[in-house]
């Protein structure tokens, strides 16, 4: 009984001390609460220097100006917040980039084993009596010119990645460019005539204050008048410029270049592609 009474007293004293400590902390918090900064919602500028600032809520739409090649504002476009204003997940971007690089790796590396190296079919010397180490072939791995043990073989480095993770990575990449102000929406990407000099001058006029010229241009398709084949011919001699259709927009290409230029039609098609959901399978009747 005495032992149980002592344990009860010990637990009661601990509970009282915890209550006193919490009350002291609450009094100290109330005493110093006037020195804490007030919580405010900060605004974030949208891509483009003439765009209005909007509240940086996750999922809110972004209003951006639409330019022509002479950087004249010809309209305004709304970027959906569920695609261009999502939380930027660096881990998702890392996974998608690793998946892309692993998938495009050729995997044609190959070394020869001792059975594939030319020569070495005859035993070099007798097993015993010569005083030398025993050998069965001059193409053993420990000899010069021999085979390679556990060397690389022809294989595929591709690994799987869920479609929703890939889609989320593309959304994060687009959000990063829009947040940094490196996303520009253009009314039309038509280049007439399709000359490299003409496109170079147009890019200089569209992005005059860019310190490092590294640009990715995304149009609606290869066969349309909005960019198309003329744009690709003009950009083929510009090493710092890449051109992709909206169907080929990917995380690695977006992150590799500093600035992203999208046509208005490419934005609409890209939003439609990222919002597309997989249809449910029809139930089979037994």
For the segment 62-75, what is each residue's pLDDT rounded down to a tens digit? Answer: 999 999 999 999 99
- The first and second tokens of residue 42, run together, are 């900060």
Q: Which residue's entry shows tokens 């079919």?
A: 121
The torsion of the CA quartet 81, 82, 84, 86, rounded to 10 degrees, works out to 100
Q: What is the pTM of this model?
A: 0.71
| CA angle at 57 for the pair 53 and 60, rounded to the nearest 5° | 75
pLDDT at 117: 92
**All residues at 6 or more sequence positions from 75 whose CB lies less than 8 Å from its CB, including other chains:** 65, 66, 187
Q: Three-state DSSP class for 43?
A: strand
CA 131, 136, 138, 140 dihedral sign is: negative
52 or 107, which is more confident?
107
Q: pLDDT category, 113, cuts 50, 70, 90?
A: very high
Q: What's the gap between Cα 124 and its chain centre?
A: 56
- First-to-last C-alpha distance (Å) of the chain: 71
pLDDT at 14: 59
- The first and second tokens of residue 98, run together, are 């690793």
- The first and second tokens of residue 175, run together, are 């959000």
The whole-number average pLDDT for the span 193-206 is 92
The whole-number average pLDDT for the span 83-93 is 94
pLDDT at 224: 82
> pLDDT above 70 covers what percent of the chain?
76
How distant, in Å, are the alpha carbons of 86, 196, 198, 204 from that of 201? 34, 9, 5, 5
- The first and second tokens of residue 92, run together, are 């998702």
Which range is least confidently modeled, 38-52, 68-82, 85-99, 154-168?
38-52
The whole-number average pLDDT for the span 206-221 is 88
Per the prediction, the chain carries an average pLDDT of: 81
Maximum mean pLDDT: which of 1-15, 63-77, 119-133, 199-213: 63-77
The number of beta carbons lying within 10 Å of the beta carbon of residue 183 is 24
**All residues at 6 or more sequence positions from 42 whose CB lies less than 8 Å from its CB, including other chains:** 56
pLDDT tens-place string over residues 12-63: 565 555 545 444 444 444 444 343 333 232 333 334 443 333 344 566 899 9
**All residues at 6 or more sequence positions from 224 whose CB lies less than 8 Å from its CB, including other chains:** 265
**All residues at 6 or more sequence positions from 49 whose CB lies less than 8 Å from its CB, including other chains:** 181
Which range is least confidently modeled, 203-212, 234-243, 248-257, 274-283?
274-283
Provide the phi-psi class of 212: left if phi over 0, else alpha when psi is between -120 and 50, else beta: beta
**Hey, what domains does the chain have and what are their CATH numbers?**
54-104+158-275 (3.40.1370.10), 111-151 (no CATH)
The torsion of the CA quartet 256, 261, 267, 270, rounded to 10 degrees, works out to -20
The whole-number average pLDDT for the span 253-282 is 87
């Amino acid at each position: 009984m005495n032992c149980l009474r002592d344990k009860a007293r010990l637990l009661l004293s601990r509970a009282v001390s915890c209550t006193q400590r919490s009350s002291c902390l609450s009094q100290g918090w109330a005493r110093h609460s006037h020195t804490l900064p007030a919580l405010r919602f900060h605004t974030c500028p949208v891509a483009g220097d003439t765009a209005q600032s909007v509240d940086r809520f996750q999922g809110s739409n972004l209003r951006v100006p639409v330019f022509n090649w002479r950087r004249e504002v010809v309209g305004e476009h709304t970027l959906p917040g569920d695609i261009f204003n999502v939380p930027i997940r660096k881990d998702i971007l890392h996974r998608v980039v690793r998946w892309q690089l692993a998938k495009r790796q050729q995997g044609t590396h190959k070394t020869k084993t001792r059975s594939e190296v030319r020569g070495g079919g005859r035993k070099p010397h007798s097993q015993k009596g010569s005083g030398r180490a025993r050998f069965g072939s001059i193409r053993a791995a420990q000899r010069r010119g021999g085979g390679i043990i556990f060397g690389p073989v022809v294989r595929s480095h591709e690994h799987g990645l869920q479609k929703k993770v890939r889609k989320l990575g593309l959304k994060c990449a687009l959000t990063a460019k829009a947040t940094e102000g490196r996303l520009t929406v253009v009314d039309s990407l038509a280049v007439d005539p399709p000359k490299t000099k003409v496109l170079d001058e147009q890019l200089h006029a569209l992005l005059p204050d860019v310190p490092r010229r590294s640009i990715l241009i995304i149009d609606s398709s290869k066969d349309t008048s909005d960019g198309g084949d003329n744009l690709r011919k003009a950009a083929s001699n510009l090493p710092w410029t890449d051109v992709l259709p909206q169907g080929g927009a990917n995380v690695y290409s977006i992150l590799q270049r500093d600035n992203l230029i999208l046509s208005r039609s490419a934005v609409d098609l890209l939003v439609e592609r990222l919002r597309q959901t997989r249809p449910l399978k029809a139930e089979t009747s037994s």
